[in-house]
Structure 1
């Protein structure tokens, strides 16, 4: 049996170095899995991503916030593959958190400022009737 500190270290490595998770949801049309690009948030541990509001997984989360997923990395020393599964709940980022969390998402995904400017969407996309949500 693997000692707990090793599992904690492995999980931390996966969360910090993975860029994508397979997100599983359940809604009125049944179960669904989709791939989303995330960045980790700590204290408490959370995953931050954005999606179109009309995407099936977004609609599913609106109907039932329970989620599960997996994060994995390949080309690692030894076996070459490691992964972790998770369960939790999801909610949209509130208006009071939007600016700060949006900045963190783009800074973490695009460390180069010029590249970040090219990819960054206006905050209005994520507010009110905008088409997206973090």
Structure 2
């Protein structure tokens, strides 16, 4: 399977990503978050409380890293990606633009969406929740081509330009 096809499979199959941040006191943190993804350029949307540790971290240090993975029934069905990028809070106009896309992805069941979707007004200032975007700057996949041969866990970087047609 080529790298772009694997990337699409991961983005569509993984339900959560792990987001790593660092505070101004240089304390690392990792949060597991539901997400929606947008293509060209590759971005991740996630919702969070403004006072959460990762939200506080990105407000002062927007550089982040993260990973996502899918696991199958056997060892060779496991696949994953790692990324680095810049994270920021969406503007009210961007929240309105991406609101449906975000909730369709994180709450695929229509009944759950009807029950748990926050209106745009509760995702913009002064509300306590926000929607954030990670603008991916680098993307790596697990290098499955060599692991079978030597059992060494490597990554292969996928140029973002190759992912434009996701």
Q: State the distance in 1 between where 2:58 and 2:22 align.
A: 8
1:124 aligns with 2:121: yes
Greater shift, 77-86 or 9-18, is seen at 77-86
1:51-78 Cα offsets, whole Å, 9 max, x none, are 0100000000001100000000011666
Greater shift, 66-75 or 118-127, is seen at 118-127
Q: State the distance in 2 between where 1:55 and 1:61 align.
A: 10
Name the counterpart of 1:106: 103
Given candidates 46, 58, 74, the residue that maps to 1:49 is 46
Gaps of 5+ in 1: none
State the Cα distance separating 1:109 from its structure 2 match.
2.7
1:72 aligns with 2:69: yes
**Residue 43 to residue 28, structure 1, CA distance change in 2 (3 Å):** same
Name the counterpart of 1:13: 9
Greater shift, 90-99 or 62-71, is seen at 90-99
Task: Tell me the matched-pair count.
Answer: 130
Q: Relative CO higher for 1 or 2, CA cutoff 8 Å, sep ≥ 6?
A: 2
State TM-score, norm by structure 2: 0.72
Name the counterpart of 1:92: 89
Name the counterpart of 2:24: 28
**In structure 2, the residue corresponding to 1:14 is in which secondary structure?**
helix
What stretches of structure 1 move > 4 A for 4+ residues in a row? none
Q: Contact 1:106–1:120 at 8 Å: present in 2 too?
A: yes
Q: State the distance in 2 between where 1:35 and 1:111 align.
A: 18
**Residue 76 to residue 89, structure 1, CA distance change in 2 (3 Å):** farther
Name the counterpart of 1:82: 79
1:108-131 Cα offsets, whole Å, 9 max, x none, are 233343321111012222111110
1:78-104 Cα offsets, whole Å, 9 max, x none, are 613111100000111111111121111
Q: State the distance in 2 between where 1:76 and 1:38 align.
A: 24
Q: State the distance in 1 between where 2:108 and 2:77 align.
A: 27
